[in-house]
Amino acid sequence: MRILSLKSHASLLGIVLLSRILLLIVGWATHSGLTLCHWDCIHYVELSQSYSLSSPWFPAWPLLNGFMRPMLAWMSLETQLVVVSNLLFLGGIGFLIRFAEQVRLFPNRMGLVVFILGFSFYPWNLQMSFGYSEALFFFYFAAALWLMSEERWLWAAAMIGLGGVTRHHGLWLGAVWGVWMIAQWRKKTFPFRTLLLSGLVAALPLAGYLFLQGWLAGDPLAFVHAQENAGRSFSLLRLAKVHLPSFQLVYGLLVLSWVATFWGLRHRHPWMRFFGMFSFCVTLFPLLVGADSAPYFSYKRFLGTNLALFAFLATYLARYRWASGLFLLGNASYGVLLVCKFVRDLWADG
């Protein structure tokens, strides 16, 4: 079922692309020669040239860029990561639009437009434009959603499996997907053979990754131990003390995410319930895994793919055009400020 015309599709994708280009221009214009590939992106540049199975970084993003390097040798590796991440983000938006239309996620076009633009303008989704692995994970996530809506179960399983070796919360997504698939099988949507084959396909990337870690690195859980060596913690009791609430924006996002979680779980639409389950996982995850020196480490980035949060906001804000406009304008403006601060910090670091 198509809510938007082809012209509206092109316009919506054009707005998303233009917003990304403008943000990149802000960065480059503020400091000439800046590649916008810093911090995690620098690690991915190194890993793309020589990936180690004992690394605390999942393999999909650096291996993809290493594979594409010969085809994009005319640009620097830093530029390649930024360009490819933006293309993946735009492709993921296209899949997300098609999915939302296919399952009629919203009853009208305003809800869909606010959902897509709200997600695109979310300030911390800027990481998807700066060479991080978030863009690849989002691409796999959105592609899997569209493929499931088309009942292409094995292809969707492949996307879920690849997402599980791209970002940490891809493992949570795999668990939610597994519960969803079992529920669909119980409804006789597909035979048991499809459920079994889909499970095997989805498990294959992670199983291969763990096997290679055990064979080549000598430890099948080398990734977990590398995380601990990098300052992460896996003690819930100790982290409960580290994560005591305070008056910070991240805690406001935490509360709003819990609201969206229970809203999604209680929603009549089955895909909203899917989003609610995933929201529960990504909201809970930082409570279990964090950095001792930085409470809710990367939490705002984790919420970048919390689609329940954006669906919740879109459902209620779309009722009022002025509220939708203020929401999108506020997100976009704060995104520009973050880019300016990002560049200023780089300038200060020399």
Mean pLDDT for each consecutive 10-residue tract of the chain (350 residues)?
A: 58 69 57 60 82 77 88 83 88 90 86 86 79 91 95 96 90 92 92 95 92 74 63 51 57 80 91 91 64 50 82 87 81 70 54
DSSP H or E segment with residue 15 = helix 6-30
Q: Name which of 291, 292, 295 is nearest 247 in CA terms.
A: 295
Helices vs strands, H then E, count in the chain:
16, 2
Q: Name which of 186, 213, 173 is nearest 308 in CA terms.
A: 173
pLDDT recorded at residue 29? 47
pLDDT recorded at residue 322? 81
pLDDT recorded at residue 225? 63
pLDDT recorded at residue 272? 93
Alpha-carbon dihedral angle through residues 260, 266, 272, 278, given to the nearest 10 degrees: 60
Cα separations (Å) of 345 from 32, 126, 280, 297?
A: 14, 16, 33, 19
* Residue 214, both tokens: 């055990």
pLDDT recorded at residue 5? 60
Q: What is the pTM of this model?
A: 0.86
Cα separations (Å) of 141 from 113, 156, 165, 221?
A: 19, 9, 12, 25
